[in-house]
Structure 1
């Protein structure tokens, strides 16, 4: 469905896609980040949310087919200049008067320098109107290196993080090709909750090889014990060209069948609801009103 939205949005703007940065239109509406700000006079097509793609990773996960490049020698200064120029160009070509939220995704944007993030945010504020309390989200991998940068990212202007925990099972993390373990995730979640109270999301993948409904229910309880106020659940899907796809095709591993995956999803929805998490989108759950403005924008167009 989001692919359809992207196609529809391309009709609204003179679209550019350098470095996979995309500018999306959103409906004018009040949110927890725009209280006291009168935006009723702004036409719908004068407002937008901004997605910034950082295309680099330190390695490729076995299940991922996203647009990314594996490099440990990124020219951060050049990337900063390019992202600043692309941000300015997109906003000016789109003629928007207000950016309602910014989302840094990837790739692994937490591998970027805090200065790069700060400069992109600064470019937005110089080019158009970004409300002082606008949601600015950064996707984070819970490695020791990236956890250590969280405080600097907050100083750069980030006020919400989405942590790619993916699993609380070290064997599964290794199978997925992740660079962290369960203890790394725990440390990152704790640090993030201290720095971004009420604004921490945990991403988890279900339907992993060998996973059962019982093990999934047990893992959900562990996730709930350490979570903040937002959880995103994603069903593992096989993508052509990935290592995981090859393993399954060659009969080396097996995913749960469709009925089992459906049971896992329904059980998760029920369990999260019991614990106060309201489902506001297919994959996203929040409690105490901590929904993501950026996520919501895709579903209110």
Structure 2
């Protein structure tokens, strides 16, 4: 199951039946529909309460495993997918729901901080979410707050959300999930940045192909030098660094979730020789592909 099949932009939410469609937060009781081989991203935040066993979680440029009861916060435009284990009888193409989910928008939070100093306490949390954050020991508390958000309306609902946000900001038992953050676009994104975001989608859908700087610059309708400047401004990385990171992340997932040979994985994710693959993998993961697989099997 290759993760480069497509990238799904989920700007709109599948809201709880009682939600106001204009609300900046939406509770999804059945979680998000997870499709195999498909990266997802969104323009706001997703707070997941994991409710089902899963094979692996692909977040940014890293692969993780979470137990039911885990709490995971994923920030804007951070590609991810949770590959949930299937009940017997489900077909390979079935869509799974494996988490309770609260979505909330980015821009209202950022603008709110301009007017309400109290909201600024959440700034560090939202910045960490750009890399993805997993919290330990908060499953029962988050489940209770989710029920409060579901049951309440108006200011009482906002109060439940604020209490949940406060508890997340106070937690010290957490870990970040991706080595590289996805930068949050500023309000009023420029036309050139919009070109870069569309090109990011293109890269994330085709990174196993022989993409070059000339190819992606042409796709963005920019010169290579202009593209390189804008790309680094938006992502914090060069095009080559970003491309290699995606390939190594997918290689990590395949090492964890399949028994394919390292050499097969090397070519499947887009590298053209094993020595180049091993060098980049070791640089980013701090161990060889074989050590990475063995380490995961011991956990």
Q: TM-score, normalised by structure 1?
A: 0.28
When you count strand as a share of all residues, which structure comes out higher? Answer: 1
Q: TM-score, normalised by structure 2?
A: 0.28
